[in-house]
Amino acid sequence: MRNHVISIAAVFLALAVGVVLGSTSLSNRVLGGLADDRANLSKQVSDLQSKQTDLTGRLTDADRYALATGPLAVRGALDGKSVVLITTADAKTTDRDGVAALLRAAGATVTGELQLTDAFTDPTKSDQLRSLVTRLLPAGVQLPTASDPGTLAGGLIGPLLLLDKTSGKPQASPDETAAALTGLASGGYVRQGQGLHAAQLALVLTGGAASGNGAADRAAVIARFATQVQRSGGGTVLAGRTGSADNFGPLAVVRADGATTSVLSTVDDVDNAAGQVVTVLALRDAAAGKSGNYGTAGNAQAPAPTSATG
């Protein structure tokens, strides 16, 4: 019995020693493999960071080049033309100032700015906006048949800020224009800049992708507003920041509608110098009755108008 006990004990002891030695060897192999994986991942991260730094540098250089050559690229593109700026609540002043400077370099006259407030796109205030537009309508202006607030507001503001594309004359008297814009401002829907008056062309400048409650509705209001403004005069371009053509951005709404894209031009990267140059060139083409979707987004048809090199 004593020999059996000793034998069994020896077996279990050998088994325990084997398990310990085996697990130690396995642990070393596992830890060694994990160390190798970590080293490989660290190298990949380092390589990606280097590539990102390189690409960022190239983009910065390209933006500087576009900023320096932009006035030359647009010189004479809008000689004798006048442009009115319409900015949304999320439009950036840096984008507006950059484009305005290029418009002047292109030979255009900027006739002022009308700012649309947050209330303009607020879904909870759409009924009030519809009612106000109807009451402020000048005698000689006819509203579109659509009932959405964006189209109706464009049907009022478009003729107030754009000259008739055939006669080149104002579509409303100075008193009617002043009364309508004052009424919209009193309702909290717009803010008008000093010296604002009608122009041949309009640039609707917006921000990036909409977010939060009612984002899709807000984007649709701007998209339909810009489309109706286009129908009111000699040409309109809707320009937004990077992201404005994705998800719930106003440009995404326009580009999803083939009928709209056939008349209204869009630019989706107005937040960089090259996009601002393209915006001016798109306005030039809009004055000639041409339209297109330009920029860097996946739903853009080209980075710039093909006639830009002509």
Say what the pLDDT of residue 189 is: 97
Give the pLDDT band (50/70/90) at residue 3. Answer: low
CA distance 94 to 73: 20
pLDDT digits (tens, 9 = 90+) for 243-289: 899 877 899 999 998 888 889 999 999 999 999 999 999 999 999 99
pLDDT digits (tens, 9 = 90+) for 61-91: 556 655 667 788 899 999 999 999 999 999 9
Residue entry with tokens 């990606």: 48
CA distance 44 to 55: 16
Strands 109-116 and 190-192: antiparallel
pLDDT digits (tens, 9 = 90+) for 189-234: 999 999 999 999 999 999 987 777 788 899 999 999 999 999 999 9
CA atoms within 13 A on the CB side of 122: 15
Residue 115: partners with Cβ closer than 8 Å, 6 or more residues away = 86, 87, 88, 89, 190, 191, 192, 193
Q: Where are the beta strands (DSSP E) in 45-108?
A: 82-87
Task: Give the Å distances, CA to CA, from 176 to 26, 31, 89, 136, 171.
Answer: 87, 80, 25, 8, 10
- Of 57-66, 170-179, 228-237, the range with the lowest mean pLDDT is 57-66
Give the pLDDT band (50/70/90) at residue 10. Answer: low
Give me the helix-helix angle, 273-287 and 93-105, nearest 10°: 50
Q: Higher pLDDT residue, 130 or 62?
A: 130
- Of 67-76, 128-137, 176-185, 234-243, the range with the lowest mean pLDDT is 67-76
Can you give the pTM of this predicted structure?
0.79
Say what the pLDDT of residue 70 is: 76
